[in-house]
Copies of this chain bind each other. A is one copy, B any other.
Amino acid sequence: MVASHPAPLSPVGEEDSAKRRQILDGARKVFLDLGFDGASMGEIARAAGVSKGTLYVYFTDKSALFESIVEQEKLEQGKAVFNLDPERDAVTTLGEFGRAYIQLLCRPGGGSAIRTVMAIAERMPDVGKRFYEAVLAHAIRQVATYLDARVAAKELEIKDTELAAAQFMMSCQATLFQPFIFQAKPTPTRAEIDKVVDSAVRMFLAAYRI
């Protein structure tokens, strides 16, 4: 009874109590698998191993829980670091980046955050916008910055590096991302990714290398 009260702070007080984590983990799976409407609070409670009531101790309502999930995915995917060392040459760097990027987008195991957010964007525009900015636009800006450096290094000649970055990133998705998200093909293999990314790098450099 001495030091028995070391941590029992209020659940909401701590930004990241164990229970909160537990709920987020359960909710993540359910939301990403079933979408916002398809997921029920009951199922989330079951997945998280807590009672329905407990959900509402930590999150005001279903939307708040969902937005926390998106926020978390946003942070996690947004901080995916790519090796975009401005000194390195474009062939290697873009190739490496492309492979990492596609693997991020086409993560195996169902439940894609991108799909889930896209699906709800019409009804929760802010959620969609913030996710896009933090993840997709953020990645584009990183690549654009790298391209700026290579332009300065006289390896490339590009007017609009942000557009070019986006072009490259979209090219890398060719035949991979859409079939994946539409469930038309399984998660792309390493070999498929290599082939497509290599081709994208070739096309990109054929167009922009000095």
Interface set of A (CB-CB < 8 Å, partner B): 33-38, 110-112, 115, 117-123, 125, 128-129, 131-133, 136-137, 140, 160, 162-164, 166-167, 169-171, 173-175, 178-179, 181-184, 195-196, 199-200, 202-204, 206-208
What are 27 residue pairs bridging A and B, where the CB atoms are less than 8 Å apart in the complex? Answer: A35-B120, A35-B123, A110-B122, A111-B122, A115-B118, A117-B182, A118-B118, A118-B181, A118-B182, A119-B120, A121-B182, A121-B183, A129-B184, A132-B178, A136-B178, A136-B182, A162-B175, A163-B174, A163-B175, A163-B195, A163-B199, A167-B171, A167-B174, A167-B203, A170-B173, A171-B171, A206-B208
List, in ascending order, chain B residues with CB within 8 A of A121's CB.
Answer: 115, 181-183
Distance to closest chain B CB from A172 (angstroms): 8
User: Are A132 and B179 within 8 A (Cβ)?
Assistant: yes
Number of copies of this protein chain within its complex:
4
In the assembled complex, the Cα of A130 lies from the Cα of B126 at a distance in Å of 31
In the assembled complex, the Cα of A120 lies from the Cα of B119 at a distance in Å of 8
List, in ascending order, chain B residues with CB within 8 A of A112's CB.
Answer: 122
